[in-house]
Structure 1
Amino acid sequence: MHANLANCFCVLNAALLSITGLASIGGSYQVLAEEGASGHYQPGSLCSRINKIPPSKSVNIFVDLNEYEGKTDAGLTVPVAGLAVADVNVNDQSYSLNVFWNPGVELKGGWQYAMAISLPYRSIDVSASPTKLDSGSRQSDKDSGVGDIMITPLILSYPISEYWQSELHFNIYSPTGSFDVGKLANVGKNYWTFSPVAWLQYIEPVTGQEFTLSGGIDWNTKNDDTDYQTGTQLYVDSTVIQYVPLLWGFTGIGLSGYWYQQISDDSGSGAVEGGFRGKSVGLGPVVSYQSKWSGRRVRAELKWINELEVANRPDGDFISLKFSTQF
């Protein structure tokens, strides 16, 4: 068992070091955000047992309902779809149907293969003030519809031991959501994002303890409509939960947090604010539930993340509610 632990920690360590090393080519670690002050990654959304692939041949379906509400610091100029605005308030609601498929294929060395797809519907409401260089009153805008679909063609999982599990995900965000230059609110980003993520999870069923750690990086293509190249982003999510037998299953309570840093500058003629690197750190409580209904495994999770430190991004709160079942 110790040998398996050491081998897998080496795999995860190598994956995370490779991610960090490749990303650092794009720029140095300085706290200077993306176009619209947000990217495809929703801070604090990844580290959940529900996001884990099924352990055997099966299909896992989960619904993710989340809402983010925040505002930028007074005086911060934000580039949004070809506009330059300030004092931005945003309310972003997303409803996603997620399907994970494990075909039961075991690869050499004990690795398992799976794939996934996430189909989001977004409703976004944005208000902002023109910059001092412009004239006019405060503006508001709304948009709703299918957002940018996330495809995960490759998920690899490896059981380190009885209690430890590792995973590697490769996510691709496609620009399927609508985007119009000159609008404050758009449900799509109008660029592709390629996002490898490494996972490590510990589950102790006897004592009811659960620990999840994930680290990832987002590489983005250019938004050709605004000639804006969003920089590379690095992030780490973590969740700790203690379960007890309750409500015909197991109910857990714990903490979830994240660290996010943009590590290369924005560029292109649309990047009127220069590098505009974003940074944020958040922490909050999480409540989880798991049981079996009619022989099917079901899970639910409620999470609230409060942003504690923010630079060049809105400062606010993220609420997530997830339900999953296995077929």
Structure 2
Amino acid sequence: MIRLLACGALATVQDRGRLGALRWGVGTAGAMDAPALAAGNLLVGNADEAAGIEVQVLPLEIRFEAAAAFAVTGADCTATLDGVLVLPWTAARARAGATLRLDRPAAFRAWGARSYLCVAGGIDVPMVLGSRATQLRGAIGGLEGRALRAGDALPVGRAAEGPPPGTGLVPPAIALPRAVDGVPALRVLPAAEYDRYTTDSLAAFWGEPWRITPQSDRYGFRLAGPTLVPLRPLELRSHGIVPGVIQVPHGGQPIIQMCDAQPSGGYPKIGTVIEADLWRLAQAPIGSRIRFVETGWDEALAARDALDGWLAAARRDLSCLSPRSAA
């Protein structure tokens, strides 16, 4: 068991997500940066479906009630175990009674917006519709369907042996960088209503940076930038949408659907951020800028294969270091 001693806003229990539940009108939820959670689980010997803690606002401070392996991945932060620095993206071990603190990074130009804490055995909250992921709207999953707070005690499942302490991974932000003019670049497939916008609007959509506004959260990222103008007014019936879909409300400022998005909506769709780049978007802080890069179906599949290849290589390398492999 681990106990939260201090907790910023909107820290939640998350796993891979509530896959397959959209047909019931239930959002996917799950980790916004799925590769970071997957890497953390690999570093502590967890199964792919194990749950960890997604941290959006620092600090987070926990006490280990029993000895456990752990790893911190995702956005840059300063992690200390009983005051001693802990390397990011690296397997570590805590004794019973040890205190882990995640705080604001010391670096001036820190990367990322969400950190992940994975503990050997996984956070063992009840399964709801096949997942432990928290969806705050509807109070589904996680710990009582809510954000975590100081004083909470989180049960931990049965741990398997993972890689030895000190084993680390190269983050995908380093292994698979992608930027335009120093701004994170997201590959986008044109969507159903793409051709119903003016030529100038489409040129601005691809050619100008977009700022992530404070009205952004796990449900959707609201952007500020050039006004996107349709050739004529668009009125659509509500229809199915998924994370990554870029909708354009009447004001002409796009909204990108994220993990907790509702499964249907009626705004026109100008594009869709490819699945392989959603983690990049998830790590873009409020107030930062992003760029869109037009891509095609084949390129989107190749990007997915590249990300899967990074995770497969990490799994293969770590398996060679596990105690069982050494035996």
TM-score (structure 1 length as normaliser) = 0.25
| Structure 1 or 2: more strand by fraction | 1
